[in-house]
A and B are shown apart, each in its own frame.
Chain A
Amino acid sequence: MKVTVNFFAAFHDMTGRRELNLEMREGLTIGELHRDLCARFPRLADYSGSLMYSVNAEYVPADYALHDGDEVAFIPPVSGGSHAH
C-alpha cells in the first residue's frame, strides 16, 4: 500500500523533505512507520521531544494501523501553550 508522509517545522528541517511517498506493507502502524523513518533520517531519531501523529488531518494514537492512501504527518509540539494530547 502507498502512504504520503508530510514533514513540518523542525521535522522538515531534519529530513530536508516536505513530503515523501512510500510503498509499505499492509497493516503497519504509524508508530512503526516513524521508527522506520528514524532509521532513514538519523536526525529524526535524535529528536527527543514529544510528538503526535496524524492521519488524514486528524490526531491518532501510535498504534493506529495505516491504510492505502493515508496522508500521514508527524506533529512536533505546536507553537503556543502547553502540549495537549
Chain B
Amino acid sequence: MLIRITADPLDPQPFIEHVRRDESGAVALFLGVVRNHNLGRRVLHLEYDAYPQMAEKKMRQVAEEVMSRWPITDIAIAHRTGRLEIGETSLLVVVSSPHRHEAFDACQQAVNRIKEIAPIWKKEVWEGGEAWIEGEGQPTLQPE
C-alpha cells in the first residue's frame, strides 16, 4: 500500500510497478485530470489545498476499506497539491488484483471515497475570477 500527498507531478509508472504482483492479472489505473471547463466557464488552472496529515490518514483509511472489501493484491493512492495546469493529474489511484472485475470496482470505490472524506480542496481560476469548489462542482460562497 502506498499513500502520497505531493506538490510534484504524478508519474503513474512507479505506482503501477509498486502495486503489480506476479499473481496480478489486472491493474486498474484512474487518473483525475484537470479539465479546461466547468459550469460553462473556461478554466485557466486549478489550485489544490490539503490538510496533509489528515488527507494522508483518510486516503489510508480508504485503501484499507477497499482492501478489506475486495480480494485485491495492492493499492496506491496519490494526490497532488498546489497549482495544476490543464491536463495535469491531480489524483491517481491504482489497484492490482488477480482478475479485472475487482480491480475496476475497488478502484472506482476508492476514488469515490477519497472525494468524500479526504480534506483536499480545489480552487478554480478562470478569466476574471476564482472560487473554491464544493462538492458537485459548485463554488463556495466567498465574499471579497
Contact A46 B141 (CB under 8 A): yes
Size bracket of the B interface: 20 to 34
Contact A77 B48 (CB under 8 A): no
The answer to whether A49 touches B140 (Cβ under 8 A) is yes
Do A78 and B120 form a contact, CB below 8 Å, given A12-B49, A73-B51?
Answer: yes
- Among A8, A48, A82, A84, contact of B121 (Cβ-Cβ < 8 Å): A8
Instruction: Look across to chain A and name the residue whose beta carbon is closest to the beta carbon of B137.
Output: A80
Contact B115 A81 (CB under 8 A): yes
Within the complex, what minimum Cβ distance (angstroms) separates B106 from chain A?
A: 17
User: Interface code B83-114, partner A: CB below 8 Å = 1, 0 otherwise?
Assistant: 00000000000000000000000000000101
List, in ascending order, chain B residues with CB within 8 A of A49's CB: 134, 140-141
Known: A6-B51, A77-B135. Is A57-B57 also a contact (CB below 8 A)? yes
A83 interface residue per 8 A CB criterion: yes
CB-CB nearest in chain B for A54: B54
Q: Which residues of A contact B141 (CB under 8 A)?
A: 46-49
CB of B63 to closest CB in A, whole Å: 16
Residue A20 CB within 8 A of the other chain = no
A8 near B134 with CB under 8 A, answer: no
A residues engaging B (CB < 8 A)?
Answer: 6, 8-10, 12-14, 43, 46-49, 54, 57-59, 73, 75-84
Listed by A's residue number, 20 A-B pairs whose Cβ atoms lie within 8 Å are A9-B49, A12-B49, A13-B142, A54-B51, A58-B57, A73-B54, A75-B119, A76-B134, A76-B140, A77-B134, A77-B135, A78-B115, A78-B121, A78-B135, A79-B115, A79-B122, A79-B133, A80-B32, A82-B116, A83-B135
